[in-house]
């Protein structure tokens, strides 16, 4: 039923759905999948403590590090309490009670990162220059998937994100910039839902994981605007990566593992300097159309503040692994916003782009997540529609 919804140009973007699907399937997805496994891109620095600034403790976030597991603090390995301690054996990380799939596995090789500037991202709430309480997480060991995090706590966060920070624009909404923020969040939400459904605990007793097609349909495919927003978010982030191409090509991907670092550099070059991408979709999103109005500086400040609030809301996410991916993807979006709206544009010609390592990691991992979601939606659309036909 929905196939017809996805033809023509992705709303407010410059490429059509078919081109996005084929570019993603043939070029972007394979490159990104390899890129995110390299050491540079798999370790993310994150503050995982739960100190929600918006409402009092609701019992979900009582314990540091393992909020959803709700095990007594004395059951925690001592080293859990020290965020910078590395190389924890993974066996220690499984909580005695609750939902182990919600816990972050902190197993980590010792890595050295060099040559990156430390600057704060104006779009996000966490101070990226502050290393206290930051921990490094191996993303490959912590895939975004179903964690069992459901109920009023999740609803409160999504509600706060939508109602307080980016109310759905009415069809007569003239302010493009506000529309962009809503679509970015909705697109990210669709992608998160797709990852939950794509890697779902189908049978708890046998620990059987797999795709839950019905859930993809119920949460995303049934709502064409959610799918469209996801394509929009994908193209928006792709545009940011394309715009930062020079920076990303020249950056140092140095972790001390020479061969792997060379591989990261080469894959990055293939991604940002891709002839197929340049031929088929040279301008995934045209940011120059935005911020043209009279009230531009105030509007930008207002939207930046709203996005910062969304970023702060990630501290209220009461499931550690969800918080990890929530924070990563919000930082990735904040980085895309910074690239497209803060620097080097016609409105800000004299500002030079500076990115920090963690921002680049978040940006690329976010693009990879969106790319996976776009690929899955493209693949599943016909079969999900069949399921609906049978119901
Ligand atoms: P929800 O997904 O909670 O949606 C709430 C409401 O938002 C819907 O009823 C609908 O009105 C609206 N809505 C839904 N999708 C969209 C959209 N795309 N655009 C616009 N509006 C929409 N759970 C996990 O299992 N694994 C995770 O990794 C994970 N990460 C999370 C990260 C964050 C930041 C948050 C806030 C939650 C996360 N969750 C995760 C929980 C998950 O997103 C859902 O909240 C939960 O599965 C309950 O789903 P639901 O069916 O109630 O709908």
Q: Is 281 a catalytic residue?
A: no
Q: Is residue 332 in contact with ligand 1, taking CB distance under 6 Å?
A: no
Which residue has tokens 């001390």?
Answer: 256
Tallying the residues shown for the chain, one arrives at 391
Q: Give the contacts of 83 (CB within 8 A, at least 6 positions apart).
A: 48, 49, 133, 134, 135
Question: 100-109, 212-221, 287-296, 332-341: which has the minimum mean pLDDT?
Answer: 100-109
Q: Is 322 a catalytic residue?
A: yes
Where residue 125 falls among pLDDT bands split at 50, 70, 90?
confident
E strands, the chain, in order: 43-46, 135-138, 200-203, 208-210
Task: Report the number of secondary-structure helices (H) and strands (E) in the chain.
Answer: 13, 4
How far is residue 333's CA from residue 366's CA, in Å, rounded to a whole number?
A: 8
Q: Is the ipTM of this complex over 0.95?
A: yes
Mean pLDDT of the chain: 79
Q: How far is the CA of 194 from the centre of ligand 1 (A)?
A: 10
Q: How far is the CA of 189 from the centre of ligand 1 (A)?
A: 6
Tell me the pTM: 0.84
Identify which of 115, 167, 107 has the alpha carbon closest to the alpha carbon of residue 140: 107
pLDDT (tens digit, 9 = 90+) per residue, 97-123? 345 666 676 554 444 344 566 667 778
Q: Between residues 53 and 339, which one has the greater pLDDT?
A: 339
How far is residue 205's CA from residue 103's CA, in Å, rounded to a whole number?
A: 19
Q: What is the DSSP string of 321-383?
A: HHHHHHHHHHHHHHHHHIIIIISSSTTSTTPPP---HHHHHHHHHHHHHHHHHHHHHHHHHHH
pLDDT (tens digit, 9 = 90+) per residue, 266-279? 999 999 999 999 99
Give residue 173's pLDDT: 58
Q: Is residue 326 in contact with ligand 1, taking CB distance under 6 Å?
A: yes
145 is in an annotated binding site: yes
Q: Which atom of ligand 1 is nearest to the CA of 154?
A: 45
Identify which of 95, 132, 164 has the alpha carbon closest to the alpha carbon of residue 321: 95
Strand partners, 210: 200
CB 40 within 8 A of CB 251: no
């Amino acid at each position: 039923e929905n196939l017809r919804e996805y033809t023509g140009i992705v709303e407010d973007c410059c490429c059509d759905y078919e081109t996005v699907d084929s570019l993603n399937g043939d070029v972007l997805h394979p490159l990104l999948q390899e890129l995110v496994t390299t050491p540079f891109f798999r370790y993310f620095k994150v503050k995982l403590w739960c100190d929600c600034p918006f409402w009092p403790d609701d019992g979900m976030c009582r314990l540091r590090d393992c909020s959803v597991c709700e095990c007594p603090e004395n059951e925690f390995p001592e080293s859990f309490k020290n965020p910078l301690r590395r190389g924890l054996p993974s066996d220690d990380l499984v909580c005695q009670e609750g939902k182990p799939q919600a816990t972050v596995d902190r197993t980590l090789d010792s890595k050295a990162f060099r040559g990156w500037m430390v600057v704060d991202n104006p779009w996000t709430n966490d101070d990226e220059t502050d290393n206290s309480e930051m921990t490094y997480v191996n993303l490959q060991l912590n895939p975004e998937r179903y964690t069992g995090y459901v109920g009023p706590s999740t609803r409160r966060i999504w509600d706060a994100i939508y109602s307080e920070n980016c109310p759905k624009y009415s069809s007569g909404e003239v302010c493009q910039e506000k529309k962009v923020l809503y679509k970015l969040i909705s697109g990210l939400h669709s992608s998160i839902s797709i990852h939950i459904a794509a890697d779902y605990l189908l049978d708890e007793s046998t620990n059987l994981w797999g795709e839950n097609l019905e859930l993809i349909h119920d949460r995303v495919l049934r709502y064409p605007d959610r799918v469209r927003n996801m394509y929009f978010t994908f193209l928006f982030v792709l545009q940011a990566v394309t715009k930062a191409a020079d920076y990303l090509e020249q950056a140092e991907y140095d972790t001390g593992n020479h061969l792997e670092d060379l591989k990261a550099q080469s894959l990055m070059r293939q991604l940002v300097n891709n002839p197929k991408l340049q031929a088929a979709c040279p301008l995934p999103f045209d940011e120059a159309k935005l911020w043209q109005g009279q009230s531009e500086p105030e509007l930008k400040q207002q939207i930046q503040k709203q996005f910062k609030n969304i970023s702060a809301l990630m501290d209220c996410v009461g499931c550690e692994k969800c918080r990890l991916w929530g924070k990563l993807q919000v930082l990735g979006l904040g980085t895309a916003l910074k690239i497209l709206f803060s620097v080097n544009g016609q409105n800000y010609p004299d500002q030079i782009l500076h990115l920090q390592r963690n921002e680049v990691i978040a940006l690329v991992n976010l693009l990879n997540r969106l790319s996976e979601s776009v690929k899955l939606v493209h693949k599943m659309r016909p079969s999900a529609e069949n399921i609906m036909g049978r119901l």
